[in-house]
Amino acid sequence: MKKTVSPVSSKKQEKSRLIDIATKVGVAKSTVSNVFSGAKKVSPSITEKVLDAAKDLSYTPDFYAGALSKPNRSTHIIGLFLYVRENQYLHFFRDVSQSCITEAFAFGYNVLVYFGVSADEIVSHLSSGSSPIDGAILLNPQISEAKVKRLSDNCIPCVCIGNPHFKVHNPNFSFVDSEIINITKNVAKAMVEAGFSKIALINVSDIVSVGRDRDDAFKAASEEYHFEGHISNLSMPRDIEEGRIEALKLLDQEYRAFIVGSGDHAYSVYKAAGERNLQVGKDVAVFALGGTNNPKLVFRPKLSYVKQNYTSMTKQATDILVRLINRKIAKNGYYQNPRIVRGESFVFGNEIDRSRSKE
């Protein structure tokens, strides 16, 4: 049976270790504590003796406990929560992590990255108060995100990359999102103007904030521009085969215009169109609201898609979080404009860009 140590017994063990060091050196336990916490200045000679004794006794100080014992209770650590999708490390996680680490370091903060941990485990970790972070950045939060609520309840400053679409009671909360709503509506409008009366949206799950945004924008466009619309929310957003099967069903229902959530979804439509002897860019229109994780996917004709700037979004999120941590005024929501890569899968004019807001 695996033996566990309770927080109380752990604290007692910590105190006893400090006493052992103090006895070995011949100083007060508080002096040893000051050496490790930096709460009070200790002479270099005493400090050296304490560190030598700690080494002899195989003692490693608890950095987090020392940091939290200081008056401002700051660890100068930011938690970066990368969402888990079957433990798949997505390509843009690198841009997010690098941008967060670089920007945080410029402000004197380190970054603790959470990946491969379930939402329940993270919530439990935060509930216990053992997470050594001053603030958190959450990537692509789900609707009614439990982690955000937990951070909010603990009054931990938090910035989401993606609008979580629910109210929190934490004044130290904000988000950074991509201006995808107007782009979705304008792509649908451009497809109607190109002569398509039936348009399909193949999207991620609507429990994810970006999925909900796209769905709502597509529904609004359908009502405003009077086309027959269909929404498919895929359970496995990176499964090309699932997307192919869905696209085949829609093609058989005479859908010829597709707005898709990612390059993977677009590739599914390309494959399905080929099986029905239809040509993308001529018989079938395809526009992707995101890129792809798979560099091996080749699109002929070239895909038209939205390229998200995760580096810029994460930098903005980190800047806002640092302000919140230091109790400075920060925006309670910020939208950035993504870049549109124009290909031949759907050719359109400048109409798609007209309602983009200024950064």
| Res 299 pLDDT > 60 | yes
CA distance 33 to 29: 6
Using DSSP bridges, classify how beta strands 304-307 and 339-341 pair: parallel, antiparallel or unpaired.
antiparallel
| Res 24 pLDDT > 70 | yes
CA distance 312 to 322: 16
Judge whether 188 lies within some domain: yes
Judge whether 98 lies within some domain: yes
pLDDT score at 306: 92
Judge whether 358 lies within some domain: no
Mean pLDDT, to the nearest integer, of 188-197? 95
Judge whether 2 lies within some domain: no
pLDDT score at 155: 64
Q: What is the pLDDT of residues 78-112, one digit of tens each?
A: 989 886 655 566 778 889 999 999 999 999 999 99
Mean pLDDT, to the nearest integer, of 130-143? 75
pTM metric for this prediction: 0.71
| Res 49 pLDDT > 70 | yes
Same-domain status, 125 and 206: no
Task: Provide, rounded to the nearest whole percent, the portion of the chain with pLDDT above 90.
Answer: 40
Same-domain status, 145 and 283: no
pLDDT score at 225: 96
pLDDT score at 88: 66
CA distance 152 to 146: 10
Same-domain status, 201 and 222: yes
Task: Look up the CATH number of the domain holding residue 47.
Answer: 1.10.260.40
- Domain interval for residue 100: 77-178+311-338
Closest residue by Cα to residue 168 from 150, 191, 180, 183: 150
Average per-residue pLDDT in the chain?
A: 81
Same-domain status, 64 and 145: no
pLDDT score at 290: 86
Task: Look up the CATH number of the domain holding residue 262.
Answer: 3.40.50.2300
Same-domain status, 62 and 104: no
Phi, then psi, of 319 in degrees rounded to 5: -60, -45
pLDDT score at 328: 85
Same-domain status, 349 and 249: yes
Tokens of 276: 């029905």
87 vs 32 pLDDT, higher one:
32
Using DSSP bridges, classify how beta strands 135-139 and 77-81 pair: parallel, antiparallel or unpaired.
parallel
Tokens of 43: 């002479």
Number of domains in the chain: 3
Q: Per DSSP, what are the bridge partners of residue 111? A: 78
350 vs 110 pLDDT, higher one:
110
Q: Highest mean pLDDT: which of 29-33, 179-183, 217-221, 296-300?
A: 217-221
Judge whether 42 lies within some domain: yes
